[in-house]
Chains A and B, each alone.
Chain A
């Protein structure tokens, strides 16, 4: 492997939730397994096994559709606590190879191995050893992409899934990119893709060959960035944040609803859930966001930033209610509601001179967490006002 300025690995677990369930339940092995909402209810597929994918089932598909495509599929509800713990163990394995990790989600992470090559050997060799340890210690498979930057590494990990290991180098990157559809470029969604195709730019190769001048006329501001990506150039550094970027919870209603008290009830339990998660992660949030999806699938998010970071469910709930109250909810049925907390920081709290109640709530929250860790989340709930 020729020396390059950077070497980035992108690790992506294969059908993560489904693989964990198949490992833990021998009876699911080799069967179409679908983790997500049951097929007779609303909600979506969060992950499915490769056996189920053969039937055309994929993540984020409504469970009802999945049930029709794959009538013999085994549907199981997700067990997030288990996956989080599994994720932690896998990230621990990664951290044995390099301290420079950027977790992207529960089952995906970037790893910068540029600095550790002299200690641990070539990037391809490091990737092989990571895959081997995940297989032996966790009995799961991961796909890894090895490349000089984040964009190419993520692309590479996806090329030979499952259990893939693909290296993209400075030498072969242009050739690998050229035949791929433009939608594989980072940031190209359906709208941009249509726009590109309408202007004769269907593959990444088309974009490579287009003049920057033409591309700017088609895309405007994003043209320069996309042109660079098409040529395999991506200078983004890993974001080595010390904690997750946000904590959130979403709920799809069994039936689209106009019932505000029901919506509030869900938000209250989400506030409790998110606050608990913040405390569990030992972080506090300064930004609170509300996500609303209407029956017609139009989706909006609204957010507010607090003067003081919080882990307090009452504060989260009050803020999200304020956001909700600014929306006109009379006429449009709601399909999905979500609350998330971001802008995370250390949980150091300025105590208040006058609001002794908030100081006391912090003590109470600790007690609630203790009960929930023993008896489960449902064991103690806040009542709506």
Chain B
């Protein structure tokens, strides 16, 4: 196997696959990237058995073949090379020789036969949408996934395709983000995909603002094909909770907030929230919002904001991180907060099909 490639282009490809490589894999070949050199193109691939990424790289093929090389080491070597023109030759003992300018490296690989095969998605259903839609759907919801191992079904995003709509939902049981998009799909396309959090993170790295993505899926597997770069993943096997029932159907008050001003005030107030169990209190009174926090033995903070509010006085406690999370992942200048009372969930909305339900914290007064 022999090829010439451009350093930057090869590095791009390696970057896409290397984050999948298991850091402490017990199977040595899983630390390697598979390099396949064929007449029709050169492909890189890495997998941790739950997830696989395969991408094409531009290169000049001199001799076909395949091998696996240590992904992180290869990445470091190529990154450090001084010249853009690089040649790689691999002998039948899987020893690769990399040359560029005056640099010469030999690294030991493992036979490609040891590398796991890509799964075949039998009887897969598939649909194609714009990458920017999927990108937006993941950005607006991913932060609400649970990081807690206790409820594994919540360590995932639920993507639902139904009735010409794509719905992305994530929740950790305390807050829930939902974003919805109108699609123009062939009749009868529907499905529910529970994407594991690691898969979500990898898709977010690969996905772009333009171009299309084809999503093929079976009962327990999915493939995202982003114009050549493919990501294969297992799906989470489990039943997602009935999230529709926790979205309040009506709330009493609707408050318009300037996102930037509001988040900055909240961020400042939360500097003095208790670190272990953070809570800030929001007090809405006529045309006024007061955000307060206090940490025993540390101190307290208060932020006052003039807002347009004519409703009943409400005092409600929230975990400030949950509120800041949603603010950071929206771009709209104006957000709306809908509230009923101090024990009922609050709902953040924007002028688009999106909502973020957040359970309050009960503030205990002796």
Contact = CB atoms under 8 A, between A and B. Distances in A.
Contact of A349 (B148, B246, B364): B364
A351 B359 contact: yes
B310 interface: no
Interface in A201-229: none
Interface residues of A, number: 22
A114 interface: no
A351 B361 CA distance: 6
B364 A348 contact: yes
A348 B173 contact: no
Interface in B310-332: 317, 319
A101 to B, nearest CB: 13
A362 interface: yes
B360 interface: yes
Majority SS of interface residues in chain A? loop
B316 to A, nearest CB: 11
Given A286-B276, A309-B277, A345-B274, A350 B174 contact: yes
Contact of B361 (A240, A286, A349, A354): A349
A354 B362 contact: no
B361 A348 contact: yes
Chain B CB within 10 Å — which of A307, A348, A352, A355 has the most?
A: A348
Contact of A282 (B175, B361, B364): B364
Contacts of B279: 346, 348
B102 interface: no
A353 interface: yes
B277 A351 contact: no
B358 to A, nearest CB: 9
B171 interface: yes
Interface in B279-306: 279, 296-297
B272 to A, nearest CB: 13
A259 to B, nearest CB: 31
B238 interface: no
Nearest to B278: A348
Contacts of B297: 240-242
Contacts of A284: 277
Given A351-B343, A353-B359, A282 B150 contact: no
A309 B274 CA distance: 13
Interface string B150-188: 100000000000000000000101111000000000000
Contacts of A248: none
Given A351-B343, A354-B173, A355-B173, A346 B296 contact: yes
B359 A352 contact: yes
Interface in A155-194: none
A246 to B, nearest CB: 15
A348 B246 contact: no
Nearest to B147: A307
Contacts of A348: 274, 277, 279, 317, 361-364
A238 to B, nearest CB: 12
Nearest to A281: B366
B339 interface: no
A35 B170 CA distance: 57
Nearest to A347: B364
Contact of A345 (B276, B319, B363): B276
Contact of B319 (A346, A347, A350, A355): A350
A350 B362 CA distance: 6
A44 to B, nearest CB: 34
A309 B275 CA distance: 12
Nearest to B363: A348
B296 A350 contact: no
Interface in B333-360: 343, 345, 357, 359-360
A242 B296 contact: yes
A347 B246 CA distance: 24
Contacts of B357: 353
Contact of A353 (B171, B319, B366): B171
Given A282-B366, A347-B364, A362-B362, A354 B246 contact: yes
Contact of A351 (B176, B274, B360, B364): B360
Contact of B174 (A240, A241, A343, A353): A353
Contact of B364 (A242, A346, A354): A346
24 contacts: A240-B297, A241-B297, A242-B297, A286-B277, A307-B148, A307-B150, A309-B276, A309-B277, A345-B277, A346-B277, A346-B296, A346-B364, A348-B361, A348-B363, A349-B362, A351-B174, A351-B359, A351-B360, A352-B359, A353-B174, A353-B176, A353-B345, A354-B246, A362-B362
Given A348-B361, A350-B319, A353-B176, 13 more contacts: A241-B297, A282-B366, A307-B150, A309-B277, A348-B274, A348-B364, A349-B364, A351-B361, A353-B171, A353-B173, A353-B175, A353-B246, A362-B362
